[in-house]
Chains A and B, each alone.
Chain A
Amino acid sequence: MHGQRSRFLTVMITVGLAFFYIPMILLVVYSFNYSKLVPVWGGWSTRWYKVLFQSEEVWSAVSLSLKIAIVNATFATFLGMLAALSMVRFGQFRGRTLFGGMLMAPLVMPEVITGLSLLVLFITLKQVFGWPENRGFATITIAHITFSMAYVAVTIQARLTGMGQSLEEAASDLGAKPFKVLTAITIPRLMPALVSGWLLAFTLSLDDLVIASFVTGPGASTLPILIFSRIRLGLRPDINALATIIILVVAVCIAIAALILFRQQQRDLLDQQLAKREE
């Protein structure tokens, strides 16, 4: 009975994982395909990697995407932190519920609507103030900040609520002025949430196709826009090569994160043992 059930579980988990990973494995394998036609196997080769590295179009898209993602993540984390702080630490100010609702709205707003409304905003701004002259890096970054900030705010808000206020009160009690409390206590304590908020905003931006498509202009293609337009023109194996590199980068990042987490757990365990010895 028990053996049967565990066999059932094994099968289910295998099928499930296969469903996730076989497409990725295929993608990686086909990135080494010599043939120009994606579905036709033409033997092993790294020619598409060479093509990829020589393609200026791809590299400008990658660098634009990374630039946007980094600037976006930094601003979104800063603004999201301020929003979370005012939600959690400023008590019941007037309009708090409204502010909280408006802060969370981008989470549930369809991307198409966000994208469209921002496009309308930028067009109006251009007519009234003459800025932005061209849509591109600046407009995409602003658009990304507006929606990813909400995600960051939620992450930080959860951490702030969980942290309680006594450490900040203790610092203030010991004579630290509010700004000092923020820099010496709140921000160091928030660091894990700030880092994960930053990474979340970074990923959201790197990943976004819909909103970026709305607010971009001629000549400014982010990586997702480039990939998507390439696919419309017909799949080419150099995109597989690009995807393989992205998978590799993500895998390395996850491994590093896991290592950090593991070392932190080891440290906590050691601390506990040390504390126990003092009892």
Chain B
Amino acid sequence: MIEKSNVNDTTWHTDDKTKPLVQIKGLTKKFGDVIAVDNIDLDIYQGELFCLLGGSGCGKSTLLRMLAGFEYPEAGTIKIDGMDMSNVPAYERPTNMMFQNYALFPHMTVEQNIAFGLQQDVMPKDEIADRVHGILKLVELEDYKKRRPQQLSGGQRQRVALARSLVKEPKLLLLDEPLAALDKKLRKQTQFELANIQEQVGVTFVVVTHDQEEAMTLSSRMAVMDAGKFKQIGTPTEIYEFPETRFVADFIGSANIFEGRVSEDGADHVIVSTNVGEVYVNHGQSIAKNKKLWVGLRPEKIHLSITPPPQIGPNQIMGQVEDIGYLGETSIYKVRLKNGQIVDVTAPNQRRPMSRTHSITWEDAVYLSWEPESAMLLIS
């Protein structure tokens, strides 16, 4: 087994680490014969921005809908702030949701949309007005309160939806693909806005997304989901730098993967023999000798050079450049190894391509090398 002290969700540090805000135990949901959510356990802590990341049909939305109370589980329990939610209908849960297509009420103005939730509680009219005003200020839509949702741009609608779900000050805010309906440029800008607002209001967010970049920028912690199960839970850095499986390594970013066996298990390092040579890893993982595993290498962590590295040693492979993809800020080099495997290497374009005559080009024989801490050990 791999033991990594830093990849373990129970070590998440919060002010109140004894009692998680959300406790999910053995949660299972089936639709007919299809298991959407498969026996899941998860703790989410106060103040987190937790992302559920996965492809379509992985069960992330079903999990979110069970938290909101729109779907009921076949088995397992959800506790929010210590209270069992099994028999609590959606309208009595301390959660609010921001819907994928915002689900703004088209027959109400912005103001009425936001006030709707407050009106369901017994609350004096002037307090409702105060809180609507306050939240409109937060999302910078004070001048638009008399408009109907159809009269707003996509970005404004998104902010109305956020305001409407935040105004009741829920213990838990659920966001279903909050940025998917925006165009790419606006999405990037809104990612940061969303994270800022979360910090300001301090509400715990659970965000469902299929976009890995969105999950990486937004979340304080995230879970990668596939086929109704969690593949890995951790901070974005942990997930990206220390994926546990080939699935996660490949799902978040891209990875070159080599099969191998542990040939040496030292106190501060591991050596893996692969079909492309020895890989020396020094990030303190301890694995039984001879165990079959996979080594993953991120394209941006591989150094490419025409001249041989100064010292012959592990973590070096030779190959030939087969193709180059120019992406502007970076280029992707497809390097064919002696055994035929293609390795992707990305390198930033710090110089303009016209001065690249002396740099690497098609058919060049190249050396690939990487740092001892760069390789990722994948157990399955």
Contacts and interface: CB of A to CB of B under 8 A. Distances in A.
The A interface, classified by DSSP as helix, strand, loop or mixed, is helix
A266 to B, nearest CB: 13
A171 B105 contact: yes
A279 B89 CA distance: 38
A64 interface: no
Interface string A234-259: 00000000000000000000000000
A185 interface: yes
B151 A176 contact: no
Given A174-B117, A175-B117, A188-B107, A279 B153 contact: yes
Interface stretch (B11-19, B96-104, B329-337): B96-104
Interface in B98-150: 99-101, 103-107, 116-117, 120-121, 147-148, 150
A54 interface: no
Contacts of A175: 91-92, 117, 120-121, 168
Contacts of B100: 166
B347 interface: no
B152 interface: yes
A57 interface: no
Given A167-B103, A173-B91, A278 B70 contact: no
A154 B380 CA distance: 53
A133 interface: no
A144 B271 CA distance: 85
Contacts of A184: 116
Nearest to A188: B107
A178 B69 CA distance: 13
Interface stretch (A105-113, A224-232, A269-277): A269-277
Given A271-B148, A275-B151, A275-B152, A170 B68 contact: no
Given A172-B91, A174-B168, A175-B121, A278 B103 contact: no
A170 B162 CA distance: 12
Contacts of B121: 175
Interface in A157-175: 166-167, 169-175
B246 interface: no
Interface in B134-181: 147-148, 150-156, 164-165, 168
B103 A170 contact: yes
Interface residues of B, number: 34
Given A180-B120, A188-B107, A174 B153 contact: no
Interface residues of A, number: 25
B101 A169 contact: no
Contact of B96 (A166, A173, A278, A279): A173
Nearest to B117: A174
B209 interface: no
Contacts of A275: 150-153
With most chain A CB atoms within 10 A of its CB, the pick from B95, B101, B105 is B105
B359 to A, nearest CB: 42
Given A172-B91, A173-B96, A175-B168, A272 B150 contact: yes
Contacts of A176: 91, 116, 120
Given A173-B69, A173-B91, 10 more contacts: A170-B103, A170-B104, A173-B90, A174-B91, A174-B120, A174-B164, A175-B91, A175-B92, A271-B148, A279-B154
26 contacts: A166-B99, A169-B70, A169-B97, A170-B103, A170-B104, A170-B105, A172-B70, A172-B89, A173-B70, A173-B95, A173-B96, A173-B97, A174-B120, A174-B164, A175-B92, A175-B120, A176-B120, A188-B107, A268-B150, A271-B151, A274-B147, A275-B151, A276-B153, A278-B153, A278-B156, A279-B154
